[in-house]
Amino acid sequence: MALSNEKVQRTLKQYGITQSMSRKGNCLDNAVIENFFGLLNSELLYLQEFESMAHVEQELKDYIHYYNHKRMKQN
C-alpha cells in the first residue's frame, strides 16, 4: 500500500485531524517539523510499502520512538 497525499488527507479528515499550514511565503514557520517530515520520508516512508493502516501506524510509532530516543541529533 503506497501512501499518497490525497489518501493522507482523507485519513486525517476521517479522524477529525486538521492539517496545520504555515503562513504563505514564510519558510521558517515550520522549519523544525519540515526537517522531521523530510527525515521520516527518507528513512521510513520511501523505503517500503505498507500492508495496511495498522502497519503504517505501528511503523510510525516505532520511528517516532527511534527518532526521539535513539537517533543521533545535530546540535
Q: Give the pLDDT mean for 3-30.
A: 76
Question: Is position 49 within any domain?
Answer: yes
Which runs of consecutive H residues, i.e. helices, occur in 1-75?
5-14, 31-43, 53-69
Question: Is position 7 within any domain?
Answer: no
The grid coordinates of residue 58 equal 505501528
Question: Is position 16 within any domain?
Answer: no
pLDDT of residue 22: 66
pLDDT of residue 61: 95
Domain that holds residue 46: 26-74
The rounded distance, in Å, linking the Cα atoms of 45 and 4 is: 11
Q: What is the tens place of the pLDDT at every residue in 20-71?
A: 666 776 667 778 888 888 999 999 989 999 999 999 999 999 999 999 999 8
Contact 6, 14 (CB under 8 A): no
Question: Is position 53 within any domain?
Answer: yes
Question: Is position 59 within any domain?
Answer: yes
The grid coordinates of residue 59 equal 511503523
